[in-house]
Structure 1
Amino acid sequence: MAPPRSTRSSLQSVDLRALDYLTSPSANLLCPICHSPLITPVQTQCLHTFCSACISLSLERSLTCPVDRKPLNHDDVTPAPIMIANLVNDLVVLCPNREKGCPTTCARWLVESHVREDCGYATVKCVKDGCDGMVERREAEEECVHEEVECAFCQGVMRKLDLESHPKECPKLSSDCPYCSESFPNPELADHKLVCPAEVIDCAASHFGCTYSSRRSELDQHLSGCHFVALTPILQLHTERIETLELENKAIRQKLDLLLPPRPLPSQSSAGASSDPNDANSAGRDMTSEMQDYTYHLYSEYEQLRSDFERLNVQIRELDVKQDMARINEGLRYNDEMTGVRAAINGLRMQLHWLLASRRETGTGGAGAGGARSVAGSSVSGDARRMSDSARQVVKL
C-alpha cells in the first residue's frame, strides 16, 4: 500500500536560477546583472528591469543604475508590471531532477509544486516512524530501506538500501575486469583498471587534435612517432597564451560594460532557426554594425574627454598668467610706496639737521658777545653747552 500523499511531500528546495529551460529565453526577459531569466522582476525609475535580489545587492555597493549609471536608490525601485512577471513565469523549464531520470517539463511557476508533490525522483522522508533517513519518492515503500542488514559473505553491516550495490565492493567477492574480462578480487580490481593493457585509451595529445586511440599495450609505439606529442610543448605554450588573452579580453569587456550599457544580442534559438545564408550574413552585418557603433561611441567619448582636458589646461594656464601679473602689479605698488616713504624720511632728516644747526649757531654767538659773566651767566652758558651736547648726540643718532 502506497503511503499517503501528505507523508510524501518533499522538502527539496528548488533554485530558480539553476533551472534549465526548454528553449532559450528572449533577451528582453534576462536580468542585466545575472543574465538569467528574471526572478521577482522590479523596475527602476529609469525604466530598467532587474531581479529584486540582484538590484538590492547592486545598490548596497553603489547607488547608481547598473545599466546607464544614473543616480538610483531603493525608493526608486518598484515592482515591474504584472505582464513581465507572467511572461517569465510561463517559461517552460526542465525538472531539477532530470539527471536522475525525471522527464517532466512544466511552466516555471509550477516546478516547485511538482518537486514538492509529484516528482518521483525527489527525496522524501522515510515512511517508517522514528527513521530520519531520506529516500526517493518512487522507492518509498512500507518497509524501511535504512535498516541495517549483514552481508552473507563478509559479514559487514550496511543499510538495506546499499545491499544491492554492495557485491561490487565486497572484499570477499570477485568481479570481472570490463576490459580484459579477467576476474579479480574487488579490492584489487580498481588498481588493475589503472594499468589494464586491454583498455582502449586515447593518445596523450588528444586534446591538441590527435584522434588516435588503441589498447594501452600498443600505445607506446604510436607515441614514439606522433607529431602532436612532439609539438606538445609548443602547443601547450600557445594554449597558455590564449588563456591569458581570454582573461585580458574578459577584463577589457568588463571595463567596456561599465562605460557602455550592454545591448541584447540575437538569441541562439532565433539564430539556429534561420538556415538561410543571407539571414546569417545579415546577422553578421548587424553584429559588425553594433561593434562599429560601440567603437564610434567610445571614440566620441574619448574625444570629448580630451577636449575637456585641453580646455581645462588652457584655463589653468590663463589663471597662472593672471596670478603672475597680479603679483607683479602688487610688487610695483609696494615699491612705489616704499620710495615715497624713503623720500618723506629724507625730508624730515634734512629739516632736523637744519633746526639743530640753527640752534647751535644761536648758542655760540651769545657766549662770545657777553665776555666774562657772573655765576648766573656762567650757569646759562653751561646750560647752552649742555643743550649743544645733547643736540650733537641727536645728530649722531
Structure 2
Amino acid sequence: MAPSRSSRNSLQSVDLRALDYLTVPSANLLCPICHSPLITPVQTRCLHTFCSACISLSLDRSLSCPVDRKPLSHDDVTPAPIMIANLVNDLPVLCPNRERGCTASCARWLVESHVREDCEYASVKCAKEGCDGMVERREAEGECVHEEVQCEYCEGSVKKVDLESHNRECPKLSSECPHCLQAFANPELAAHMAECPEEIVECSASCYGCSYTSRRSDIESHTSTCHFVALSPVLQLHAERIATLELENKAIRQKLDLLVPPRPLPTPTSSTVTTTASNPMSASSQVSSTTTAGRDMTSEMQDYTFHLYSEYEQLRSDVERLNAQIRELDVKQDMARINEGLRYNDEMTGVRAAINGLRMQLHWLLANRREAGTSSPATSGNAGRAVAGGSANGGEIRRMSDSARQVVKL
C-alpha cells in the first residue's frame, strides 16, 4: 500500500538567506554583517543586533564589535528581544521553489512547513516501494518515473524521467534547425546551431549600444563599418574603470557606515497627532515642519560626516608626522652609535700605543741591566761575594726577564 500524502514529507532544506521577500525589509531589521534580514537575532552589550552565526564568526576572528569596534566577547552576546525576532519572522517571502512553478507566499516562519508539507513542487520520495528516487509532490501519486525503459530508436536503456531529454540527444533521431530549417542528427545539431549562417545575431558591440541585428553571414560587413566596434577598446577601458570606481565607492560607503552611527528618523509624537486632529487647518504647517525637520536632519548628518572626515584627516596627518619624527630619531640614533664607535676605536688605539711604549721602555731597562751586569770588573777580594751576588743577581735578572717575556706575550 502506498504511503499517504501527509506521511510523505519533503526532505528539502530551506536556506533562509536565499529567500526573496515580497517587500523591501526595513534597514533596522538587516544584519550589519551580511546585510540580510536577521536570522536568529542576538544583541551585544553595546546594543547592536546581528545574526547569531554572523557575530559568532566575526568574534572568532576579532574580539571587537563590527559596528563601533569596542571590545566584545562571546559572553557579551545575548538573545535579542522577542519583538525583533517576531518582526523578522513575519516578513512575507516567496516559496523557494518558485523557479519550478510554485507561486505561493507566506511569512518566513511558515516557509519551512510549507515546503515540507504543502508545496506541490517540493521534492519528495517516490511512492513506489523499493524506489529511492525523488519526484515533485504533484507527481508522487502517478506511476514511478525511475523505471528503465528501452528507447525505440537506439534501443538503449533510459529512465522514464530522462526519456524526453534522451530524445533530444538520441543519435538515431534528427531534428530541424530552427534557423535554416535543415535536418541534422541530434549530436550534430548543437555544433551546427553555433555556426548556422541563417541565425539572427546581434552586433559584437551590442553591449556598448549598437542595436544592429542581421544574419550571421551578413554581420561581418556591418562589423567593418560599425563605429561602436571601432570604439570597443576605449569603451571597454572605461567600463573597467567604472567597475573599479564602483568597488572603491562601495568600500568607502562601508567605512562611512562604520564611522557614522545610525540615527533614528524623527517620528511624530502623540502630542503632535492630537494637535493635528484637533486643528485640521494646521496640517499644511505640520507637513512643512516635518520637511524642515528632515532637511535639518540631513544637514546635521552632513555636518557630522564632515566633522568625522576632518578628524580623520587630522589623525592621518598626526600619524604621518609621528612617522617622520620616528624616522628622524632612527637616523640620529644611528649617527650617535657610529660616532660612539669611532670614539671607542680612537681610545683603544691610544691604549694600544701606550702599552707598546711601556713595553719598549721595559725592554730598554732590561737590556741596560744585562749590559751593566756583564761589564762590571770583578775583584779577587770580592770574588765569592761577586759570585754569590752574581748568582743572586742572575736569578733576579732571570726572574725579571721571565716577567718581561710574559709582558711581551701579553
1:199-249 deviation line (CA, Å, top 9, x unaligned): 111110001111111221221221121100011111122222223333333
Distance 1:262 1:169 in 2: 58
1:295 maps to 2:306: yes
Aligned to 1:53: 53
Contact 1:43 1:79 in 2 (8 A): yes
1:190 maps to 2:190: yes
What TM-score results when the alignment is normalised by the length of structure 1? 0.68
Matches within 5 A, 1:99-138: 99-138=99-138
Aligned to 1:218: 218
Aligned to 1:379: none
Do the aligned partners of residues 145 and 104 (structure 1) sit closer, same or farther apart at CA in structure 2, a change above 3 Å counting?
Answer: same
For residue 76 of structure 1, what is the amino acid of its counterpart?
Answer: D
1:254-293 deviation line (CA, Å, top 9, x unaligned): 444554446799xxxxxxxxxxxxx99x999977874553
Do the aligned partners of residues 262 and 2 (structure 1) sit closer, same or farther apart at CA in structure 2, a change above 3 Å counting?
Answer: farther
Contact 1:93 1:106 in 2 (8 A): yes
Distance 1:181 1:119 in 2: 41
Do the aligned partners of residues 250 and 102 (structure 1) sit closer, same or farther apart at CA in structure 2, a change above 3 Å counting?
Answer: same
Distance 2:192 2:323 in 1: 77
Q: Decide which structure has the larger Cα Rg and report it.
A: 1
Q: Residue 247 of structure 1: SS of its match in structure 2?
A: helix
Q: Residue 33 of structure 1: SS of its match in structure 2?
A: coil
Matches within 5 A, 1:279-294: 290=301, 293-294=304-305
Contact 1:3 1:142 in 2 (8 A): no
Matches within 5 A, 1:221-236: 221-236=221-236
Distance 1:45 1:253 in 2: 25
1:177 maps to 2:177: yes
1:87-141 deviation line (CA, Å, top 9, x unaligned): 1000000000001110000000000000001111111111122211111111113
Matches within 5 A, 1:158-173: 158-173=158-173
Contact 1:3 1:141 in 2 (8 A): no
Contact 2:2 2:128 in 1 (8 A): no
Distance 2:141 2:159 in 1: 15
Matches within 5 A, 1:375-386: none
Distance 1:219 1:308 in 2: 60
Note the residue ranges of structure 1 that are not aligned, 5 or more in a row: 266-278, 318-397
Q: CA deviation at 1:84?
A: 0.8
For residue 296 of structure 1, what is the amino acid of its counterpart?
Answer: H
Contact 2:21 2:93 in 1 (8 A): yes
Aligned to 1:395: none
Contact 2:97 2:121 in 1 (8 A): yes
Do the aligned partners of residues 210 and 264 (structure 1) sit closer, same or farther apart at CA in structure 2, a change above 3 Å counting?
Answer: farther
Q: CA RMSD for the aligned pairs?
A: 3.2
Q: CA deviation at 1:198?
A: 1.9
1:8 maps to 2:19: no
Contact 1:180 1:199 in 2 (8 A): yes
Distance 2:187 2:295 in 1: 58
Distance 2:324 2:133 in 1: 75
Q: Residue 164 of structure 2: SS of its match in structure 1?
A: coil
Q: CA deviation at 1:182?
A: 2.1
Aligned to 1:374: none
**Structure ranking higher on relative contact order (CA contacts 8 Å, 6+ apart):** 1
Q: CA deviation at 1:192?
A: 1.2
For residue 15 of structure 2, what is the amino acid of its counterpart?
Answer: D
Aligned to 1:275: none
What TM-score results when the alignment is normalised by the length of structure 2? 0.66
Contact 1:7 1:127 in 2 (8 A): no
Distance 2:157 2:106 in 1: 42
Q: CA deviation at 1:44?
A: 1.1
Distance 2:79 2:226 in 1: 62
Contact 1:169 1:186 in 2 (8 A): yes
Distance 1:164 1:126 in 2: 19
Note the residue ranges of structure 2 that are not aligned, 5 or more in a row: 266-289, 329-410
Do the aligned partners of residues 287 and 164 (structure 1) sit closer, same or farther apart at CA in structure 2, a change above 3 Å counting?
Answer: farther
Distance 1:289 1:230 in 2: 49
Matches within 5 A, 1:234-383: 234-261=234-261, 290=301, 293-303=304-314
Contact 2:201 2:215 in 1 (8 A): yes
For residue 82 of structure 2, what is the amino acid of its counterpart?
Answer: I
Aligned to 1:91: 91
Aligned to 2:42: 42
Q: CA deviation at 1:30?
A: 0.5
Contact 2:9 2:116 in 1 (8 A): yes
Distance 1:156 1:283 in 2: 72
